Structure 1
């Protein structure tokens, strides 16, 4: 069994990349240093202790964070991550990227992110519920449907959101469906939310392939990550006729030069919990997957997997970022020099927050849409954003990432300007 490679060890982290992307956008837009500092600074940060009584009676104290980066365009929006790698700088970076993502998709939100430093695999369901409810109660003063609306992320799911919603509702004295998104449909969740990020990634991949003149049936792909985002993305690519040659998860990867049978692979994962051991494929480690001979690469797991050490070996012609921050700034420069088209995360994986917005709207008006309506509205948003970013990139001779960031930063800065500074 081959473990998935971790991001390259370096002194830089995601927050450094986020700040550099913002600084580059401010230079292009002609903003002064004061405006840049205002856009870089989080509006609010909360760090909390989470005492947990383990099932065996032992007491453990965990640490949680919630960062609200910007609130100028509306209440904050962002996921909650349970991971042993969570730290405050990571949460700050992810919150900033959420601000740009929401603005790029023209959603009435600012950006936020939350995290608890915990490995969910080492805890029982009852323990995870206690952690979730205590974390929620600690950040209760700063969250709510008109303040900050959490959603699932790495290590959390619709069950986690149900616990959060119930904790807020009990404290409020009535059911507050709009306090989180990504809930079970039976508790006010939206149809189509579970697959929204994956479907958005696929829709953007199709738009990029069309732009490059690449026929789907002649395109090969590799997907790094087979969880919330990667699994659905692989399925949608496969259904479109693209041959997915390789996928990986936290335990290893599989490769078949003739193309993987994605439905069979999904059944295997449902039965075993991993892609490892799938018949009709050979093992591949994560490092080899990222540099495999494919046309399309979808990094859909964690930050920083494409870095200075491997970007020069990437063979894909197109990279569509399913994860947040999978490509470092140094890797971006190398890939651009080599002519690799990179579709940035704030565009490519925005389907989740778009349908989260739809869920919030439905909860607030107590009227739910059909799955077909949700998917049609999602396609409209994703396609519109793609064309806006492409036009900005061509007009200003920028990369897609720089163009997307400029569009988003301009919208947030304009909201700041229109609202003014207080006092």
Structure 2
């Protein structure tokens, strides 16, 4: 992977920009620029045919200055250590920006889960959880779902850790099913947060959501939820894409029908879905559709220095982590296209994960209205802080968000000092 597309180099570059503007002390820069702890595990899994296959997984903890670390676990063939390092660093800034008491972590396994049976997926999950269990705990490191992982996988991890401890440890993981201590509103939280950020940014521009043309790249948990909520707010979702293809309809797609279709099909793909006036397009064409809001909600490095000049969106709201490279940021800024950054736009998931963790520790649960109200208040307050700082200093929204987040983490680390 070239440095230009390397997510960890991008994460470091984004941090360096903020550190320079904040005039951070070199000692603090050195601490925050790299992960604090990294674990690589190579582990065997017995497949259904009796053979054994080796897999590689990672857990990276970026910074523990503000509390235990928090971050998802993804299953994907493209997972590598630098990707996980970047995602862990972004989680640190995300948690600090919305002011919840976590540092950042991330995990991943190099695997295409679509190639495994359910039993094989369970055995892989439990073995990976066992191998990284030395890092995990409600007071240390609390994983959550990410790309290609879900509530069932989180339940297997929680059960595995609980078997090791000899008692049930619900707060060791978030994004669990409700029946084993999960939080109401957690599944929709990230997509809900994205839709709230679209709403806030559009209102700041003095515009209405009614008839707003939206394009969503990614139709998994985040993208489909954001698309549905924006559809319900009156937006016209004219384009969506998932791993199987991209779809366009100038008069607006039937998002509820597409959600229902994807939920009934293997791996929640839209492959085979048909509707009047809808036409298939390429993923490249989707990112370059003329629209009011583009929501990249798939993987990192989707908007780059190569395609940013062809983007015809009025605004970008990042549902995925790291979908826009610094080269693309520079082009979009020069073109006057605002970008609501990932560490703000998709923070809804970690906010409700925090609520779930607190509920697990206290064994006291809130209803869904309370969860959604608390989520909205925290996210809208964070958006307002970022928007005001960006306006007062004539900065891009991403830079303003990083200044707020990095400053908070730097202050925590400086206050705690260096051990011993």
Compute the TM-score of the two structures, normalised by the length of structure 2: 0.97
After superposing the two structures, state which structure 1 stretch, 214-223 or 172-181, moved more.
Answer: 214-223
Please say if 1:359 is aligned against 2:352. no
In 1, are the aligned partners of 2:5 and 2:301 still within 8 Å (CA)? no
- The structure 2 residue matched to 1:116, chosen from 69, 94, 109, is 109
Distance 1:411 1:352 in 2: 20
User: Residue 190 of structure 2 corresponds to which residue in structure 1?
Assistant: 197
Structure 2 equivalent of residue 235 of structure 1: 228
Contiguous gaps of at least 5 residues in structure 2: none
CA distance, structure 2, for counterparts of residue 367 and residue 31 of structure 1: 41
Give the root-mean-square deviation of aligned CA atoms: 1.2
Q: Distance in 2 between matches of 1:389 and 1:71?
A: 23
CA contact (8 A) 1:265 1:278 kept: no
The one-character-per-residue Cα deviations of 1:319-353 (angstroms, maximum 9, x if unpaired) are 00000000011000000000001000000000000
Q: Give the 3 Å change call, closer, same or farther, for CA 243–9 of structure 1 in structure 2.
A: farther
Structure 1 alignment gaps of length 5 or more = 1-7
How far apart, CA to CA, are the structure 2 residues paired with 1:125 and 1:275?
A: 21
1:78-106: CA deviation from partner (whole Å, max 9, x where unpaired): 00011110000000000000000000010
Task: Look up the match of 1:4.
Answer: none
Match of 1:3 in 2: none
Contact 1:222 / 1:245 at 8 angstroms: preserved in 2? Answer: yes
What displacement does 1:254 show? Answer: 1.1
**Contact between 1:254 and 1:278, CA under 8 Å: does it hold in 2?**
no
Give the corresponding residue for 1:279: 275
Pair 1:378-2:375 in alignment: yes
- Partner SS for 2:63: coil
Residues 1:37 and 2:27 are matched in the alignment: no
Q: 2:177 aligns with which of 184, 189, 196?
A: 184
Q: Is residue 2:128 matched to residue 1:135?
A: yes
The number of residues matched between the two structures is 416
How far apart, in 1, do the equivalents of 2:244 and 2:359 lie? 38
Alignment counterpart, residue 298 of structure 1, candidates 282, 295, 314:
295
1:407 counterpart SS class: helix
Residues in 2 aligned to 1:87 and 1:205: alpha-carbon distance in whole angstroms: 31
Alpha-carbon distance in structure 2 between the residues aligned to 1:383 and 1:319: 17
CA contact (8 A) 2:4 2:10 kept: no
Q: d(CA) in 2 for partners of 1:260 and 1:10?
A: 38
Partners of 1:64 and 1:32 in 2: CA distance: 34
- Which has the larger displacement, 82-91 or 258-267? 258-267
- Find runs of 4+ consecutive structure 1 residues off by over 4 angstroms: 8-11
Give the Cα separation in 2 of the matches to 1:122 and 1:218.
Answer: 40
Q: State yes or no: 1:388 paired with 2:381.
A: no
1:67–1:92 contact (8 Å) kept in structure 2: yes
Map 1:6-155; keep pairs closer than 5 Å. Answer: 11-155=4-148
TM-score (norm 1): 0.97
The answer to whether the 8 A contact 1:254-1:275 is kept is no
Query: For residues 260-281 of structure 1, what are the alpha-carbon distances to aligned partners after superposition, in whole Å with 9 as ceiling and x for unaligned?
Result: 1111122222344432432121
2:335 counterpart of 1:338: yes
Cα distance in 2 for residues equivalent to 1:75 and 1:157: 22
Mapped pair 1:323 → 2:320: yes
1:154 Cα offset (Å):
0.5
CA–CA distance in structure 2, aligned partners of residues 10 and 252 of structure 1? 28
Higher mean displacement: 270-279 or 390-399: 270-279
Q: Does 1:169 align with 2:180?
A: no
Which stretch has the larger CA shift, 227-236 or 396-405? 396-405
Task: Give 3-state SS (helix, strand or coil) of 1:422's partner.
Answer: coil
SS in 1 for 2:365: coil
Q: Secondary structure at the match of 1:142?
A: coil
Query: Are the counterparts in 1 of residues 5 and 325 from structure 2 also a CA contact under 8 Å?
Result: no
